[in-house]
């Protein structure tokens, strides 16, 4: 896996819209996983599709590169954790718990590459 596409992704997201979307992603070569640490859209710009586009693009690129994604939704920065969890599930993430838990991943949600 060549993680260079992550830098390209971050540049595209920041250049696509005048809205200052903040995305923080890291790549773990040990688990071949991209971790979405944060996706922040200013409150006054939420529910306008900016975060939707950024997450859809990340999922598309992860699929193209055969890499799984992981994240842990939180209520930080004024977000609603239940709403975020449902949003991530609509993008193909599943909860990382129970019989399907991947013990190599500490994040609470995973999305396998399609």
pLDDT of residue 16: 64
Measure the CA–CA gap between 88 and 104, rounded to whole angstroms: 20
pLDDT of residue 79: 77
- Flag whether pLDDT at 30 surpasses 90: no
Helix (H, G, I), strand (E, B) or coil at 113: coil
- Computed on alpha carbons and rounded to an integer, the radius of gyration of the chain in Å comes to 14
Q: What is the Cβ-side half-sphere exposure of residue 53, based on CA atoms within 13 angstroms? A: 17
| Average pLDDT score, the chain | 87
- The string of pLDDT tens digits covering residues 51-97 is 898 899 999 989 988 899 999 998 877 778 999 999 999 999 999 99
Residues in the chain: 114
- Flag whether pLDDT at 2 surpasses 60: no
Measure the CA–CA gap between 41 and 22, rounded to whole angstroms: 7
What mean pLDDT comes out for the span 32-41? 89
Residue ranges per structural domain of the chain: 4-111
The CATH code belonging to domain 4-111 is: 3.40.630.30
């Amino acid at each position: 896996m060549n993680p260079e596409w992550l830098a390209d992704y971050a540049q595209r997201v920041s250049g696509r819209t005048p809205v200052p979307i903040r995305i923080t992603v890291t790549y773990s070569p040990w688990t071949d996983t991209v971790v979405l640490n944060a996706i922040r859209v200013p409150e006054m710009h939420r529910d306008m599709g900016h975060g939707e586009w950024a997450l859809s693009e990340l999922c598309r690129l992860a699929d193209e590169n055969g890499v799984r994604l992981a994240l842990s939704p939180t209520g930080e920065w004024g977000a609603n954790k239940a709403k975020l969890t449902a949003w991530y599930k609509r993008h193909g993430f599943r909860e990382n718990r129970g019989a399907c838990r991947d013990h190599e991943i500490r994040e609470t949600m995973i999305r396998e590459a399609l």
